Amino acid sequence: MVCMDCNVRLNTSRVLVVSRNRESREWLATMLFLSGFHSIKVETGKQAVEHFRDYLPWLVITEVFSPDEDSISAVEQIKHLAGDIFVPTLFISHTTNDEVLQLCLDAGGDDFIQGPLTNPALVKAKLAAMQRISQLYHEVHGLHQLLQREEEIAEELLSGAIEAGNAECEKVRIYKRPASIFCGDVQLTAYRPNGDVNVLLGDFTGHGLTSVIGALPLSETFRAMTRKGYAGDDILHQINDKLKALLPTGMFLATIMVTISQDEGQAYVWNCGMPSVLVLSGSEKALKCTVESLDPPLGIVPGFKTSPARVIPLEENDRILLISDGVQEARNRAGDMFGDARLLAAAHEGMAKNQLADHVIAKVSQFMGNRVQDDDVSLIEIPGDVRAPLVPQNPLSKSMVDIDALEQHGQGWCWSIDLQGKSLSRINPVPMLLSQLQEMEGHTEHWQTVFTILTELYVNALDHGVLQLSSDLKASPEGFPLYYQEREAKLSALEQGYVRIALDYMPKLDGGQLRIRVEDSGDGFDYRHWLATHAEISDEQALSGRGIRLVSELVETLNYSDKGATVEVYFSW
């Protein structure tokens, strides 16, 4: 027997009266008529079910004499037919036998009147009570449906806006299992213009509708800033300020941000209030390190600045595993939590099988069994070799600068920025330069290359020129963290020094040319010696000096001057 559609409307003026006794039927019909209802009178249970289906009365009143009365099974069938719709049933009982009364209740009966029927006032009162309960039920049912519908629509809109915007990055395995329709966990991926991949896993307080209010501004900020080339910490600071302004007190976002840089062969990880990130070695199939939370969740402290990123040298078959607290806190039927030890064991097994995420998920699901899930469970597996797809480039012409062409067109422009002292630690000029280019000359695939060139030249000018950091520190993988610590310390104490960047743009018939000049306040370096010793060696394993080699491959000409404190490159397309 199929249940009725829950949107079926019952007829609020019809009442089904079931009795073998004609007198009872007529007496009830009169009572009902006096209360403003129309009766449908039937004699048997079978008829009752049929008439219920045909006439959809809002109330069923049925007489019961003995347990083998088919009126009890009729009520059972009517209740089943009605499914989610509430149809009150009133038994008129001629017996005080407890067993019979229990059978009536089990069948779904809502109330009794003791027969024989003699008291009109009692029947009227019962009718009114049934009517009140029924109205209340329909009101709640309607509100519930409305809520559910709104949640479904909002969920569709949000997943459309949030996840559909993710970079199409099949290598990054994203898994989520929400505790309710709305998942408080958000997983985002996007590409930086230089080919780096940014991945974010966020967990809003609580779950359900209210926990995703912040998801839209979060995903928009993450994507827009990543696309413009901002660094992970800049993005986190902006997200923090947005959420702080938007979310009520008590709501916040625990989050992990990971930037994977293939060019540098390392990952940058920020953990703000999330469970530890696991980094697993592909060659040893074992835990390489963990990145624990160093900062509070976002959206609590105004103007919050994150701790420096953990920088982790990465090999291509290494794996980074991000999890929300729903994983460790998943409970089994006995109420035990999945916990750190089981997670670590599952991760090791998963690495051995080359199915990290899938194996961990399988283990968590197996552990939970069919227990109702308390919290959203999500997990992201990032392989060490992930990068943005390469944009096809036109082969670079190695011709020298075409001075005549530049002068002929006279449509070029020059734009420069001069950053001094403290502003160097506050402002990253590369995204600004890039958005300047985009605004003035529109979007082309070449900006990705320009971004790489600008980033490398600027970082060199700042790190080695202004901050006087030595690349020697980066000679070993262990030196990397030291290098970044020192960089952070020097940057925050910076009082003087400058970096000037000037862009000279010149349109060409079928493309354009950009001269990039970067000048710093440092002492320069022995670029002649460096070029002579480094430029020809293509040592892929070298941990430093990659930047400038990369730039020289991308540009037509690269010239140092001013003892190495000024560099000028030409890039044409």
Interface with other proteins by CB under 8 A: which residues?
203, 205-206, 249-252, 254, 273-275, 292-297, 300-301, 325, 329, 375
Nearest CB to other proteins, comparing residues 187 and 572: 187
The kind and range of the H/E element at 558 are strand 557-561
Nearest CB to other proteins, comparing residues 325 and 556: 325
Q: Count of H helices and E strands in the chain?
A: 17, 20
Instruction: Report the alpha-carbon distance of residue 490 to residue 524 in Å, rounded.
Output: 18
- Residue carrying the six token digits 């520190």: 473
Instruction: Report the alpha-carbon distance of residue 68 to residue 101 in Å, rounded.
Output: 13
Nearest distance in Å: CB 375, other proteins: 7
Alpha helices in 163-248 (DSSP H): 215-228, 232-246
From the number of C-beta atoms within 10 Å of its C-beta (0-12, 13-18, 19+), residue 349 rates as: middle
Where would I find the beta strands (DSSP E) of 52-172?
A: 57-64, 89-93, 111-114
> 172 CB contacts (<8 Å, ≥6 apart)?
189, 197, 199, 380, 381, 382, 383, 386
Q: Which residues pair with 270 in a beta bridge?
A: 257
Where would I find the beta strands (DSSP E) of 101-182?
A: 111-114, 173-177
3-state secondary structure 504-530: EEEEECCEEEEEEEEEECCCCCCHHHH
Nearest CB to other proteins, comparing residues 155 and 325: 325
Return the structure tokens found at 203: 């967990």
- Per the CB < 8 A criterion, the answer to whether 543 and 472 are in contact is no
Instruction: Please give the distance of CA 455 from its chain centroid, rounded to a whole number.
Output: 29
- Per the CB < 8 A criterion, the answer to whether 242 and 217 are in contact is yes
Buried b (16+ CB within 10 A) or exposed e, 81-113: bbeebbbbbbbbbbeeeeebbebbeebbbbeeb
- Residue carrying the six token digits 């958005």: 435
Cα 238–Cα 242–Cα 245 angle in degrees, nearest 5: 140
Instruction: Report the alpha-carbon distance of residue 518 to residue 464 in Å, rounded.
Output: 13
Strand arrangement, sheet containing 11-18: 38-42, 11-18, 57-64, 89-93, 111-114
- Per the CB < 8 A criterion, the answer to whether 299 and 338 are in contact is no
Instruction: Report the alpha-carbon distance of residue 34 to residue 120 in Å, rounded.
Output: 10
Nearest CB to other proteins, comparing residues 60 and 179: 179
Nearest distance in Å: CB 293, other proteins: 5
Q: In one letter, which amino acid is 205?
A: T
Question: DSSP string covering 337-401, please?
Answer: B-HHHHHHHHHHHHHHHT-HHHHHHHHHHHHHTTPPP-S-EEEEEEETT--PPPPP-PPPP-PPP
Q: What is the largest CA-CA distance in the chain?
A: 117
3-class secondary-structure state, position 543: coil
Nearest CB to other proteins, comparing residues 277 and 453: 277
Nearest distance in Å: CB 205, other proteins: 5
Instruction: Report the alpha-carbon distance of residue 69 to residue 87 in Å, rounded.
Output: 20
